[in-house]
Chains A and B, each alone.
Chain A
Amino acid sequence: MKKFSLLLMFILLCILSACSNGNENALSGGKGEAATIDTTLDFEKQFTILVHTTAGGPTDLMARELAKAAEEVTGGTFIVENRPGGSGAVQMAEIANAKADGYTLGAMTPSQIGLIEGTLKNQYDLEDFSWISQGQIDPYVIAVHKDSPFNTLEELVNYAKENPGKLTVGGYGAIGSGHNVAWNIFSESAQVETVWTAYESTGDAVTAILGKHIDVANSNPGQVSQYYESGDLKILGVMSEERLEDLPDVPTYKEAGFDVDTSWAQFRGVYGPSGIDEAILQELSSIFEKAIATEGYQTYLKNSQMLTGDMDYKEFTDYVNNQSKIMVNWYEKLGVE
């Protein structure tokens, strides 16, 4: 018994001393940096990329692949940590409060813009963050079951025009989500009225279309292409300027007769807190640019059927601002607060 108490004491002491060490380090580190503002990155230090979803999802996979490629490029250490919760709000708060030294970064999707323009409107602006690199684009596609009577977007639209409010369309997220806005951009241009069914993930919506529980799924190529190949699903169109390499037979919306603005896309990238030094932003941006170009990362993109991102931080910042404008416009139209 005595031994056990001693052991407990010992463990407690160890923990305490570890904590106090940590504090000292943090303090001295803080002082050092206040004195001289670093304008280059030190690859002896560890980089952390925070992901706002649980592990295993597409954004998490991108972050991990990008981290691996960045390690290859720099020889440094890039760690990926998951901070799920609050549809991204937990991760955003941590990024917003992180030191603007470039070592704490976050993975992002249109969800972050959605939070800034929506739920967290009163807390954050786009300027509160640095938009660093676009890692990939995952275009939207429209898929139906193989038994569906529709073989083209035109047939689908004709049916929807004759039966307003009948066609059920499923995809990720509530009204105002990236998938929902993508569908609205299409349905507005086609002038049809449909019913949106929200699912917790794109995968869930694909499951529902495989079981014929919804009429149409708004999805992404990586989620549906294998069912397209096996013949279980038909893909009627892709929301992109050009046809996709992996789906050469699928027309773009424009080719199918619906001239929509395709600048709205599911993209994933890297961001950080505002106030990061311009030189460091430039350095980070070029590290990720090189990482994206590595063979490993390109193979991953190809395997998961995504398009490569190719923007430096300036282009990406403009891009994010533009996406935000489209989103605000749609939030107003859809009545999302």
Chain B
Amino acid sequence: MLANLIEGFSNIFTFEILLMILAGSLIGYFVGALPGLTPSIGIAILVPITFGMDPIAALVLLVSLYGAAEYGGGITAILLNAPGTAAAAATAWDGYPLAQKGLANKALTVSILSSGIGAFVSAILLILTAVPMAKFALNFGPLEYFALAIFGLSLISVLSEGSLVKSLIGMFFGLVIICIGIDPIVGVTRFAESGSLLGGIPFLPALIGLFALSEVFYMLENTKNEKAVVEKVKGLGFTKEDFKKIWKTMIIKAPIIGYVIGVIPGAGATVASLVAYSEAKNSSKEKESFGKGNIQGVAAAEGANNSAVPGALAPMLALGIPGSASAAILIGALTIQGLQAGPKLFHETPEIPYTLFASLLISVPIMTLIGLLGVNLWVKVIKIPKNILAIIVSTICIVGAYAYNNSMYPVWIMLIFGILGYFIRKLHVPTTPIVLAMVLGFMIETNFRRAMIVSTEGVSFFFTRPIALVLIILAILMFFLPLVKKIRQKHKEQKDSKEIQV
């Protein structure tokens, strides 16, 4: 393996390959930063250009783009509350409040550092464990996916702020939205007669509306034309104390969570960032500050969504199974090159996967460096006066939604969700559970129904599958423990106040 890796390194130090890394990273940033252009769309746009290239150069270009795009999504999430990619939704929860407090520099620096470190650690994990991890992923059948998604949904009690009832309302709203379209198992239509609605509500445009456009409406409420503050800071606004606070999340937890969830096909970067964010919040001593601008939240979300990228490559390279939509397109690109991702790749052309591994180790630091250089440039965005910023953000929302699949349908969805989002937020219904439900709803439904079709023994099926059982138990604990804690705290407070009265 070491020999292969060294050969891989020797392959990439050519002008052409280094150029591909640079080009991929730069294009990726912009693809990621424009809400609506997802990493998979970016890769798809570039695939035809790679037809004439050498397979290694093509793969390096596309993978560099993939990684950088997952990072780029965080930039607009932090600055404008407009997640550029679905996986950056969790980045916005703490990143945007930080930027509002004038700490945009710090938030951006934390996000790029955690992205870079996460991707690097995850790339090393990939090199060491690609084949066994990919085989592990095969254990995930319908029941395991269902259990994983239920576990994800149980995070609602960690993530939710304030009223649990309102959180549940948000969650069920998201779950109902997911039902629109053609039934995935028997093919009847639900809440949709014809046309675009048959394809369901696209997640990313809805997310852009819910987060960014509703924020624009908030901006318009405040007619005073004030500029956002940016605190003057030396360098990048990232201090030793910050590092001490978040190093565990940044170097260990987020990368591992991101990698493992990334490996499981169909789970991907979005689920990874939600899980890592909840983990960070749950294990933190300052839970209340999450959602109001805690850098640990940014580090967890961004670290995990970037670590999911090498994760998704594991089943793709080792088994030919796509771990994400982007990896599916990469498989298509390989096919055109006359190569087949999967067991044959490692045996017959080991130079391809190993060169890719080597290129990850080089491209991630390059990507991080470009990102750090960009921080002070991006921050200028929020110095724009609010009345102009509102116009720019709404334009970006519309263009981004249109770019999602070159049609007006996602634009309407984005606008409707923008208006809905405004009222939802006015009613203090948190948007987090809606996002959680929309990410996981489809996975829950299809896999539960599939599991019930496959199973001959009904619900007791759960007890024969250890992975699913463990996940379900974790889900129950995840859901109830924070509630129990909250109730206990209330009791204690009441007791204390009574004692004082006495």
Contacts and interface: CB of A to CB of B under 8 A. Distances in A.
B27 to A, nearest CB: 15
A210 B409 contact: no
B425 interface: no
Interface stretch (A21-29, A200-208, A307-315): A200-208
Contact of A195 (B51, B138, B407, B454): B454
B342 interface: yes
Contacts of B331: 56
A68 to B, nearest CB: 7
Contact of A213 (B184, B454, B456): B454
Interface string B405-425: 111010000000000000000
A229 B344 CA distance: 9
Contacts of A55: 40-41, 43-45, 47, 329, 332
A271 B187 CA distance: 24
Interface string B327-343: 01111110110101011
Interface in B38-70: 40-41, 43-45, 47-48, 51
A300 B336 contact: yes
Interface residues of B, number: 60
A4 B178 CA distance: 42
Contact of A119 (B198, B265, B344): B198
Nearest to A118: B187
A187 B409 CA distance: 40
Contacts of B409: 85, 90
Interface string A4-41: 11001000000000000000000000000000000000
Contacts, number: 160
A55 B265 CA distance: 18
Nearest to A180: B187
B138 A119 contact: no
Interface string A75-88: 00000111111110
Interface string B166-194: 00000000000000001111111100001
Contact of A174 (B48, B142, B182, B321): B182
A198 interface: yes
A90 B412 CA distance: 14
Interface residue tally on A, bucketed by range: 35 or more
B282 interface: no
Nearest to A213: B141
B85 to A, nearest CB: 15
Contacts of A84: 199, 405
Contact of A200 (B138, B139, B446): B446
Interface string A241-266: 00000000000000000000000000
A85 B406 contact: no
Contact of B184 (A119, A174, A176): A174
A336 interface: yes
Contacts of A191: none
B141 A226 contact: no
A85 B41 contact: no
Interface in B309-339: 319-322, 325, 328-333, 335-336, 338
Max count, chain B CB within 10 A of own CB: residue among A64, A85, A229, A232? A85
A23 to B, nearest CB: 18
Interface in A193-240: 195-201, 203-204, 206-208, 210-211, 213-214, 226-227, 229-230, 232
Interface in A31-70: 54-58, 60-61, 64-65, 68
A93 interface: yes
B343 A119 contact: no
A306 B41 CA distance: 26
Contacts of A229: 344
Contacts of A174: 182-187
B322 A89 contact: no
Contacts of A303: 335-336, 338
B198 A226 contact: no
A227 B405 CA distance: 33
Nearest to B44: A55
A230 B344 contact: yes
Contact of A86 (B140, B197, B342): B197
Contacts of A211: 138-141
B334 to A, nearest CB: 10
A97 interface: no
B195 A93 contact: yes
Contacts of A321: none
Given A85-B405, A89-B195, A210-B321, A56 B343 contact: no
B196 interface: yes
Contacts of B456: 166
Contact of B332 (A60, A118, A166): A60
Contacts of B229: none
B324 to A, nearest CB: 11
A176 B187 contact: yes
A147 to B, nearest CB: 12
Nearest to A302: B338
Contacts of A175: 185-187
A231 B437 CA distance: 40
B388 interface: yes
B138 A197 contact: no
B487 interface: no
Given A55-B41, A57-B332, A336-B187, A213 B142 contact: yes
B406 A82 contact: yes
A44 B268 CA distance: 44
B328 A56 contact: yes
A40 B432 CA distance: 57
A208 B333 contact: no
Contact of B199 (A58, A60, A90, A166): A90
A93 B194 CA distance: 10
A337 interface: yes
Contacts of B195: 86, 89-90, 93
B453 interface: yes
7 contacts: A4-B384, A61-B336, A86-B198, A89-B195, A174-B184, A226-B343, A337-B188
Given A54-B325, A204-B266, A226-B340, 20 more contacts: A57-B332, A58-B332, A61-B332, A81-B406, A82-B405, A83-B405, A83-B406, A85-B405, A85-B407, A90-B196, A119-B194, A123-B194, A168-B454, A174-B186, A174-B187, A200-B446, A207-B321, A214-B454, A303-B335, A303-B338
Question: Which 4 residue pairs across A and B have the least CB separation, nearest first?
Answer: A55-B44, A56-B329, A174-B187, A213-B141
